[in-house]
């Protein structure tokens, strides 16, 4: 383990995913979400193949014992990506980023329903706290909705970003099941393949030939997304999940800066307050699980934790 290297890789991944999202947002008025998914997924494939070849995992890393599992993971993950990309064209980048924090919290509920995991009162209360945070973020828009003043585009954006969070939560649970028999490299590779093929199904629904600038942005989004995926995967080789998870929340700072500088988006006080609540709930779950993991480790070694 090399915690500092793991943290550096995690922050690199978070930053690159944010840059990728900004590039997708910048092209949202040029190409439809399905086409953006194609560039994001297809552009990732060369990076992943080079990475696997460099590691010597090109043959073993692509083997799978559960092809249908990868297909379902691909359908769920591609749905999450498409909804998120569509939402980026309708809502401010910081708001989409903040609402995306709902995904790991929803994973707790899906793990109970689909995997039969036991959840104690603490984690359930943190899930409810996270949902309160989401309501706070959306409160100004809910107020406009009650008054009949919320425009259709903003309402659709809210529905899409919440749908994306739900799909991502389901994808996290599905990945947990896949990791029991599948290599991480195979999960990443076959998801990119599945997402690329599924995105082609949207070809008859209005794909456009982008200009050179938009084309370069879309290609860049794919390549950056591939490098970010590798950095994220590599980070967990050097640090525990409980150590690295809190650094996901650095994305809200980056999203706020990028949204303000490049898209003239100023976060509201409601969004900042709600983001803090959602982050607090997520971090509480992470640190609680880390504490219980240490406690169980000491119990197995015959040591009794003090205090």
pLDDT in tens, 229-267: 888 878 877 877 666 777 888 888 899 999 999 999 988
Residue 173 pLDDT > 90: no
| pLDDT at res. 305 | 37
Query: For 182-202, how does the pLDDT look when each residue is reduced to its tens digit (9 = 90+)?
Result: 887 788 889 999 999 999 999
Query: What tokens were used for 45?
Result: 């494939």
| pLDDT at res. 302 | 41
Question: Whose structure tokens read 């899906």?
Answer: 110
| pLDDT at res. 257 | 93
Query: For 133-163, how does the pLDDT look when each residue is reduced to its tens digit (9 = 90+)?
Result: 999 999 998 888 877 778 899 999 999 999 9
Give me the sign of the Cα torsion angle 70, 68, 193, 64. Answer: positive
pLDDT bucket at 7, cuts 50 / 70 / 90: confident
Calculate mean pLDDT across residues 160-170. 94
Name the more confident of 99 and 56: 99
Query: For 90-138, how does the pLDDT look when each residue is reduced to its tens digit (9 = 90+)?
Result: 999 999 999 988 888 888 788 877 877 777 788 888 888 988 999 999 9
| pLDDT at res. 83 | 97
| pLDDT at res. 195 | 95
Calculate mean pLDDT across residues 57-67. 81
| pLDDT at res. 111 | 80
| pLDDT at res. 307 | 37
Residue 278 phi, psi dihedral angles, 5° rounding: -65, -45
SS3 of residue 39 by DSSP: helix
Name the more confident of 27 and 188: 27
| pLDDT at res. 285 | 78
CB-neighbour burial class of residue 129 (10 A; exposed 0-12, middle 13-18, buried 19+)? middle
| pLDDT at res. 242 | 63
Calculate mean pLDDT across residues 208-226. 95
Which secondary structure element, helix H or strand E, spans residue 292, and what is its range?
A: helix 269-300
Question: Whose structure tokens read 């706290």?
Answer: 129
Which secondary structure element, helix H or strand E, spans residue 133, and what is its range?
A: helix 121-146
How far apart, in whole angstroms, are the C-alpha atoms of residue 30 and residue 27?
A: 5
Query: For 277-297, how does the pLDDT look when each residue is reduced to its tens digit (9 = 90+)?
Result: 988 888 887 777 767 665 555
Cβ-based neighbours of 59, under 8 Å, separated by 6 or more: none
Residue 68 pLDDT > 50: yes
How far apart, in whole angstroms, are the C-alpha atoms of residue 29 and residue 220?
A: 17
How far apart, in whole angstroms, are the C-alpha atoms of residue 252 and residue 172?
A: 21
Report yes or no: 21 and 92 within 8 Å, Cβ to Cβ. Answer: no
| pLDDT at res. 19 | 96
pLDDT bucket at 64, cuts 50 / 70 / 90: confident
Question: Whose structure tokens read 């954006």?
Answer: 157
| pLDDT at res. 150 | 81
Q: Minimum mean pLDDT among 12-26, 41-55, 135-149, 234-248: which range?
A: 234-248
Residue 31 pLDDT > 70: yes
């Amino acid at each position: 383990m090399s915690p500092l290297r793991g943290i550096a890789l995690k922050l690199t991944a978070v930053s690159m995913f944010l840059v990728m999202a900004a590039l997708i947002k910048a092209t949202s008025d040029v190409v439809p979400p399905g086409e953006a998914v194609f560039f994001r997924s297809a552009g990732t494939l060369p990076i992943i193949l080079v990475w696997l070849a460099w590691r010597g995992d090109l043959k073993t890393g692509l083997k799978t014992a559960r092809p249908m599992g990868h297909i379902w993971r691909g359908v769920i993950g591609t749905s999450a990506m498409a909804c998120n990309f569509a939402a980026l064209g309708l809502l401010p980048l910081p708001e989409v980023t903040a609402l995306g924090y709902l995904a790991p919290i929803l994973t707790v509920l899906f793990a109970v329903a689909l995997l039969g995991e036991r959840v104690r009162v603490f984690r359930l209360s943190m899930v409810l706290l996270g949902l309160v945070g989401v309501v706070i973020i959306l409160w100004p828009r809910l107020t406009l909705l009650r008054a009949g003043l919320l425009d259709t585009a903003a309402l659709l954006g809210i529905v899409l970003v919440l749908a994306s969070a739900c799909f991502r939560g389901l994808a996290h649970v599905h990945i947990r099941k896949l990791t029991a028999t599948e290599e991480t490299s195979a999960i990443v590779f076959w998801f990119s393949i599945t997402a690329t093929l599924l995105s082609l199904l949207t070809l008859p629904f209005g794909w456009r030939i982008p200009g050179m600038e938009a084309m370069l942005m879309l290609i860049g989004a794919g390549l950056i997304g591939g490098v970010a995926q590798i950095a994220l995967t590599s980070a967990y080789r050097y640090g525990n999940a409980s150590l690295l998870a809190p650094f996901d929340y650095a994305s809200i700072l980056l999203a706020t800066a990028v949204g303000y500088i490049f898209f003239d988006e100023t976060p509201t006080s409601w969004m900042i307050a709600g983001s803090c609540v959602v982050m607090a709930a997520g971090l509480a779950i992470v640190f609680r699980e880390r504490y219980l993991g240490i406690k169980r480790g000491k119990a197995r070694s015959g040591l009794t934790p003090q205090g």
